[in-house]
A and B are shown apart, each in its own frame.
Chain A
Amino acid sequence: MTPASDESALALAEAVRGGERTARSAVDAALEAIAGRDPELHAFLHVAADEARASADLVDETVRTGMDPGPLAGVPIALKDNLCTRGIPTTCASRILEGWRPPYDATVVRRLRDAGAVVVGKTNLDEFAMGSSTENSCAGPTHHPLDPSRVPGGSSGGSAAAVAAALVPLGLGSDTGGSVRQPAALCGVVGMKPTYGVVSRYGLVAFASSLDQIGPFARSVADAALLLEVIAGHDPMDSTSLDRPAPKAGRSLEAGVDGLRVGVCDELVDDTAPDVCRRVREAAEDLAKAGALVEEVSVPEIRLGLSAYYLIAPAEASSNLARYDGVRYGLRVDAPDVSAMNTATRTAGFGPEVKRRIMLGTYALSAGYYDAYYGKAQRVRTLLIRAFDRVYEHLDVLLGATAPTTAFAIGERVADPLTMYMSDVCTIPSNLSGHPAMSVPFGVGDDGLPVGVQVLAPALCEERMFQVAAALERAAAARAGATDKEGAR
């Protein structure tokens, strides 16, 4: 691991802004780390070395001329490859987007550049973000940084692994059913999904539009807050973007949890592996020790989430992915007429999981089935939102596991989609409700691999959520310190 990239984004940006470090040196260090480690990890699908060095030089030039280079000055960042980057390939890990270079930057990418961050490359994902292990990539899987035989989680596994392996201080992913939080938990980094509408989706290649949110990966809660503050805020290019300023995620990190009402949610704990469950209980105990009012709470509607999700997400995906028809961009497989060309292109261009979800979604929206499937799933979604509203009347945040298990072995769940779908059972409810949620590393499981604890909060309560996350981070560090001391003794 390279010490240069191992430092926090906050410290690095501070050093670059103060002229103590150059952005160029930080970016060169990240590129070197990627060159050294990525052949084994396969976190990156594309490394934009030349563009990154040029951007870094621009940041350094800004510093030299005395202008403000922005809050992320010189910080290398990895982007999930479903975020559009002008002139840089954007593939969604799908053959169907082979060779496509977007003519525009996603809003988050533009905001990152404006803040002085430097995009070093595009990271691996499950094709079109459909999966929980980053195995559904046309370019092959990403490996877990702590155990190459395991998956990093998914679908944003590339960004999670890149941050966990300290190739870069920051990464961006997208979270439709847990695709930021679950790999963050498995890789042992911080990952969060904002309230729906807090971060612009413009330039995020859509999977399920009503569920998709872009979220940050970082190795600390403070860094995640900094990144969220940069990418969040109203965007007129996204009609679902909320017309309000970015949340002050980093404002209350030191405020503690004294008097906060925390509900440990049965449904987000009960069905998890015993070692994962134990960590969540410990986290709750630590919060209570820090003054939080902790209680057990049941939100039965959460159990309906998975089924509703697997109707709504594929339904929207079936429509969102219709445009990959071979007519305008990406792959085209020639055939005698347009319809045959469409079929040949889509047959060759999409992987099996994407095809499975397109078929599921097409079926769910079909005439005569709409009410029974899509319509009913939407009603379940409303039930779930009401259930959350109800518990948040007397609770400030909810606590649970992020994923039911620690990182599993590559190949272990590929043949069994339903078991794979279960990986997202704890994260999906927040996508359906549109509420914010984040995963904080909290110790390890019996296998020594990271466990993530999830904090859920009401809509637009990112600041409170980060406040609790920061307390958990301190508690986890305290436990680790105690263990180290024990070990040393």
Chain B
Amino acid sequence: MSAMGTRAERAVLDGPEWETVVGLEVHSELMTQTKLFCCCRNAFGDQPNTNICPVCLGLPGSLPVLNSHAVELAMRIGTALHCEVRPSSFHRKNYFYPDMPKDYQISQYDEPINVGGWLQLPDGSRVGIVRAHLEEDTGKTTHQGETGRIHAADYALVDYNRAGVPLVEIVSEPDIRSAAQARLYVTELRAVLVATGASDGRMEEGSLRVDANVSVRRVGAGAYGTRCEIKNLNSLRSLGRAIEYEAARQVALVESGGAVAQETRHWDEHAGRTVPLRSKEEAFDYRYFPEPDLVPLAPDAEWQARAAGAIGLLPSARRERLAGLIGRAPTPQQVDQVHVLVGQGLDDLVVAAVGQGAPADLALVRATNELAADLDAALALDPATFGRLVEMEAQGSLTATQSKAVLAELLAAGGGDPAAIAAEKGFEALSESSLAAVVRDVVDANPEEWARFSAGEDKLAGFFTGQVMRATGGKADGKAIAAELGRLRR
């Protein structure tokens, strides 16, 4: 980052006087079988220009016909975001671009399908939703040349497979106040979109794309500052970095007596900075007008109810459900565990395991620490298997160390019987009497250390535990050893 950025960043970070204001526009591709206005497959990664027809190529004479499933998914999103789902219409947004077959985009303008909702973030903050409307995606241009950069390209190739793929654009209120909160918003929104079945949430494949409107103002100021729209934010990391950079740039500009110009800027991930794309004066006049090839859209109450009923458990409800298993107010650590597990999609597994008798606290700990290490395998794990393992550990048949080892084995093998694996590994927890015998042997063999321990030198507990573990080949449970040592010292 440049010296300017560093200085400005300090102003943002140290000085209480500046506040960052962010509104996000999130484009989510919808997981429909077919495109928004034709019967072509909606699929990522196919051979270029194989999922195309006269309609999505915009051939002369072709006409759009609205995909009803896309409408249903849009209604699910609106409902999940507490929007009002309304009668709506489509407009044409006119501008020339080679990957846009008709040189206009069919989008919703003054009558969007969803308006006025909100999204509650895990930290308790709430971000307003202005609208969530339907529109079609464009094709994809690849610039070919030595550098891969637009201006140095020898030629460009256009893939129209993506042209006409259904999108919902979710526009937030400028309620976001930091890069971290922006990331949290997108993370939570992504989880909501996945829960509704509308999106696969894959940012890396471009199925979720984010533009950020960033401005800064002095804390306490009523009016917003002039905003810049940042494009090309392809990951949460880019989003966070770009907002931090842009806020710093604007603060530095204003503090040095300049003024922020309203413009669209491009995030250069490699250089770590935003660069101007086009100014307000260069902004397109999109000449919106009602799309005459489509009729107004007015889903009846029954259809709206059907859409609402098809929404899966939302992340906030999942968090509540998981935290509810604990049976008392969760500790801050457990709150974190709950967030992480829901974020990773492991909560169903934990809930099922607890439902079958596993203790919630221990299930949370094992899931957070061990399952998360191999997410794909964990998501494929049978909840009953996981539940049995946690139960064995809770009953003392396995030590924590042994339990982790068995779980690792289960994940590696894609399942199995925890008891059988434990037996195979020779993990049979020592009975209380045989553990007592081993402890006594160790105490007898180390009289000098025992005397010091007995005199109150507590740190020697570790020494004795290690000795007992060695003698038992790791089969002893740490807690049980401590209990036995305590009993002998008394």
Contact = CB atoms under 8 A, between A and B. Distances in A.
Given A315-B289, A365-B94, A328 B61 contact: no
Given A237-B63, A239-B64, A365-B287, A323 B293 contact: no
Given A236-B65, A319-B94, A322-B94, A92 B104 contact: no
B269 to A, nearest CB: 24
Contacts of A82: 61
Contacts of B285: 366-367
B98 interface: yes
A397 interface: no
Interface in A309-328: 315-316, 318-319, 322-323, 325, 327-328
Interface stretch (A22-30, A153-161, A203-211): A203-211
B350 to A, nearest CB: 47
A63 interface: no
A209 B295 CA distance: 12
A104 B54 contact: yes
A319 B58 CA distance: 12
Contacts of B225: none
A209 B61 contact: no
Nearest to B98: A327
Contacts of B412: none
B277 to A, nearest CB: 15
A192 interface: no
B289 A322 contact: no
Report the interface size class on chain A. Answer: 35 or more
A150 interface: no
A322 B96 contact: yes
Interface string A88-103: 0010100001001011
B471 interface: no
A338 B96 CA distance: 10
B112 to A, nearest CB: 19
A472 B171 CA distance: 60
B339 interface: no
A323 B61 contact: no
Interface in A378-412: none
A238 B94 contact: no
Interface in B24-72: 54, 57-66
Contact of B289 (A203, A239, A319, A327): A319
Interface in B87-111: 92, 94, 96, 98, 101-104
A97 B293 CA distance: 22
A339 B62 CA distance: 25
B305 interface: no
Given A205-B60, A323-B60, A328-B57, A365 B98 contact: no
A62 interface: no
Contact of B292 (A204, A209, A318, A365): A209
A239 B63 contact: yes
Interface string B116-148: 000000000000000000000000000000000
A103 B294 CA distance: 23
Interface string A264-298: 00000000000000000000000000000000000
Contacts of A44: none
Contacts of B289: 315-316, 319, 365, 370, 374
B62 A329 contact: no
Nearest to B156: A338
B60 A90 contact: yes
Given A201-B63, A366-B285, A323 B94 contact: no
Interface in B267-297: 285, 287-289, 292-295
Nearest to B64: A239
B65 A237 contact: yes
Interface string A197-227: 0000111111011100000000000000000
Contacts of B102: 322-323
Nearest to A90: B60
A204 B158 contact: no
A185 interface: no
Given A322-B102, A325-B96, A316 B292 contact: yes
A342 interface: yes
A202 B61 CA distance: 6
A239 B62 contact: no
A367 B285 CA distance: 6
Given A210-B292, A237-B65, A322 B60 contact: no
A239 B61 contact: no
B280 to A, nearest CB: 12
A319 B104 CA distance: 7
Contact of B61 (A84, A236, A318, A319): A84
Contacts of B96: 322, 325, 339, 342
B59 A329 contact: yes
B98 A338 contact: yes
Contacts of B63: 201-202, 237-239
Contacts of B292: 208-210, 240, 316
A342 B96 CA distance: 9
Nearest to A346: B96
Given A104-B54, A210-B292, A322-B94, A97 B60 contact: yes
Nearest to A378: B290
Interface string A355-369: 000000010011100
Nearest to B60: A205
Interface in B375-390: none
Nearest to B283: A367
Interface string B356-371: 0000000000000000
Nearest to B37: A239
A100 B92 CA distance: 25
A145 B383 CA distance: 84
Given A240-B295, A322-B104, A202 B62 contact: yes
Contacts of A318: 94, 287
Which of B58, B65, B66 has the most chain A CB atoms inside 10 A of its CB? B65
B66 A239 contact: yes
B103 A325 contact: yes
B103 A203 contact: no
A378 to B, nearest CB: 8
B68 to A, nearest CB: 12
A338 B153 CA distance: 12
B54 A327 contact: no
Contacts of B54: 102-104
A106 interface: yes
A262 to B, nearest CB: 32
Contact of A239 (B57, B92, B94, B294): B294
Interface string B288-315: 1100111100000000000000000000
B445 to A, nearest CB: 85
B103 A322 contact: yes
A103 B62 CA distance: 11
Given A209-B292, A210-B292, A322-B102, A239 B65 contact: yes
Contacts of B62: 202-203
Given A210-B292, A239-B294, A342-B96, A323 B64 contact: no
Contact of A323 (B65, B103, B288, B294): B103
Contacts of B294: 239-240
B110 to A, nearest CB: 11
B398 to A, nearest CB: 63
Contacts of A370: 287-289
Given A209-B292, A239-B63, 14 more contacts: A83-B61, A103-B54, A204-B61, A205-B60, A208-B292, A238-B65, A239-B66, A315-B289, A316-B292, A325-B98, A338-B156, A342-B96, A365-B94, A365-B287
28 contacts: A82-B61, A83-B61, A90-B61, A102-B54, A202-B61, A202-B62, A202-B63, A203-B61, A206-B61, A210-B292, A237-B63, A239-B64, A239-B293, A239-B295, A240-B292, A318-B94, A319-B289, A322-B96, A322-B102, A322-B103, A323-B58, A323-B60, A323-B103, A325-B98, A328-B57, A339-B96, A365-B94, A367-B285
Nearest 4 CB-CB pairings of A with B: A322-B103, A365-B287, A210-B292, A209-B292
